[in-house]
Structure 1
């Protein structure tokens, strides 16, 4: 197979990896980044945590009605009793953490995709500097999300 075909295939694979990272991230990031559209913003007081999720009462920031139980992914939760800013997904009781930590957590799939695409770019396209930039961007994003959620 000609070298240009292999490089083209590697470029397509790298682009697909990055597109999948954006697609997976956008599912949560759209609620954190875009205001309006029936999105409720407020605070969640963590009452109980299970294996995968945490629940607690929700207090809205505006005129929306409070809720007795809202569910959030355990990976973004803090210790029991803490209050965290959240956005409730429309027509559900599922919340997404908002603010800086929520923004960084929402884009975690893209950070992983950047790291994976860096391997493909370095190995398949032989663009080592570009691969280094992708890996650095992914590493910084993942590290920043970890640090923001740990504080």
Structure 2
């Protein structure tokens, strides 16, 4: 069951994209496909949602989205650079008009002083347009809540870029 707030936002994003003639691909790490799930929970979403990439491991990010190994080694999976590469890679692989990427530390654990639980990087890319980045530091508020808030941020970025 999808959270009603998320479902309402997803429906709004789909309508905005539909009106603009845009299709969507998602590239998700810490959310594990929840953005694609939220979008496809809305009836009729198939005219907008093309595909979703769940790239939890660094190898998946490299193989499916073309994220350079050197970038991952230099900046890490949870970084502005990696999020941007994921968004650009999803756009290229899917051939859609829009993409959104999420990579972060959902916790509990797995973080560090530099990259604590609740740190999430987002990027949204538009074909022939800009790549938007957003960093959130939700804090260690629990895995489920970090993931829920991440879905809402991703949907907001998609809507912003669709209107751009």
Same fold (TM over 0.5): no
Select the structure that is richer in helix: 1
State the TM-score bracket (shorter-chain normalisation). Answer: under 0.3
